[in-house]
Amino acid sequence: MSDGESGAYMSVHTVSGEGLRAAMVDQLVADHAAKGLTMRPEVEAALRTVPRELFTPGVAVEEAYRSDTAVITKRRGDETVSSVSAPWLIAEMLGQAADALGGLQGRHVLEIGSGGYNASLLRELVGASGSVRTVDIDPDVTARAMACLAAAGYGDVTVVCADAEQPIGPVRRYDLIIVTAGAWDIAPAWTAQLAEDGVLVAPLRTFGMTRSWALRRVGDRLVSHSQRLCGFVAMQGAGAHEMRYVDIADGVHLRLDEGQRVDPESVGSLLTRRREQAWAGVSLPPRTVLADLDLWLAARLANEAGQFVVLSAQQDAVDAGVVAPAWRFGTPAVLREGTFTYRSALRWTEDMFDLGACAHGPDAPAEAGRLVGHMRAWVDSGQPSPVLHVLPAGTPDGDLPAGTVLDKRHSRVVLTFTPA
């Protein structure tokens, strides 16, 4: 290929990338508005500046700019161990961080979980007076991140290969620590490396459900500023925590995350019994944040007799009518006295919907009614949003805020609710 042909090819490729990037950001701005969110101007500007295709080598440029899709960059067998996160999720987490800190200009940032693209966006946001350090446990990931960052012109981002469960040397305090791997607990090192009033944005799994929490440091504890529904590749290294799945029917599973134990055969046999359906008798608009309701149900069901679990299902099982969950990727459910109950698919009337519950077992009508009672309580309380408090393990009960307590390896996590 002659130099002229090469230049023409690069020009077409660059224009294609720029056009796709502009279309992607336009879609992200529209998605924010549909959720009742407003994208911060500086986040939008960063997304319009950074060439995402340079961080997804070997992937078609059209795939790199799909707003709703992560790009897998490394697998171990069938398991995904590294990816470039979906743009919609990156945009929301950066917005969480900037909102909690009142902007990122001049801030010093530690990113846990590398790949390069998010670090380059952060570098745009912190400006010349700020700094970004990104760390990953996998040397393949950090080597790729360094190469991609250099190719995109962000060679001043510091890349470290280490297990971020421990402090990253040289030890310093950061205004923002942003975690881009699914965590089950908050490592003490993360809190210790935060400046007072600094913010940690982390995808934390509680009750088997992951939310991106923006948590502000207040002394030795963290208190949430916001949260978003999300999903991430699991944390590796010392901070890893196994999430178990058990099959209860063909294509139907229970997700066990906080030490639960169930007999899959007995639960599966319940699904063969008649399904009872109950409705809350409410009328809600499409923008209702049902992710908040699911945490409300988790907190209340965990405080009652019985066992809270998360139901997931393959589309074939849903289509066959084996189960009718609210969301097949993770729906709150409870096992109580031989009855299995879960939040059901919505019932729509024109552009409004009602909340429902399905139950199988000897007390199915009563248990379905009990679950929709919790849903009505959430609606009657003003659809309160969850607030997460993270305190060190060993904190006395008397020093905890009132709420649902979940004990983890390093932390005592307390879930409370405030009116929306």
Sign (positive or negative) of CA dihedral 84, 86, 87, 89: negative
Give 9's pLDDT tier (boundaries 50, 70, 90): very low
Summarised one tens digit per residue, pLDDT across range 288-312 is 999 999 999 999 999 998 899 999 9
DSSP-based three-state secondary structure for 378: helix
Higher pLDDT, 306 or 2: 306
- Asked if the model's pLDDT at residue 121 lies above 50, the reply is yes
Strands 158-161 and 131-136, sheet pairing: parallel
Q: With beta carbons less than 8 A apart as the criterion, state whether 352 and 283 touch.
A: yes
**Which contiguous run of DSSP H or E holds residue 145?**
helix 139-151
- Asked if the model's pLDDT at residue 24 lies above 80, the reply is yes
Give 74's pLDDT tier (boundaries 50, 70, 90): low
Summarised one tens digit per residue, pLDDT across range 342-368 is 999 999 999 999 999 999 999 999 999
* Mean pLDDT value across residues 130-152: 96
Predicted TM-score (pTM) of the model is 0.92
pLDDT at 259: 81
**Catalytically active residues, by annotation:** 85
Helix, strand, coil % over all residues of the chain, rounded to 5 = 35, 30, 35
Q: What number of other Cβ atoms are within 10 A of residue 25's Cβ?
A: 22
* Mean pLDDT value across residues 331-340: 96
* Mean pLDDT value across residues 221-233: 93
Of the given ranges (29-38, 91-100, 236-245), which has the lowest mean pLDDT?
236-245
Residue 365 in tokens: 């009508």
pLDDT at 79: 57
Cβ partners under 8 Å of residue 326, min gap 6: 290, 294, 342, 343, 344, 345, 346
pLDDT at 234: 82
Phi, psi of 208 (to 5 degrees): 80, 5
Query: Average pLDDT over the chain, rounded to whole?
Result: 92
Task: Quote the percentage of the chain above a pLDDT of 90.
Answer: 84
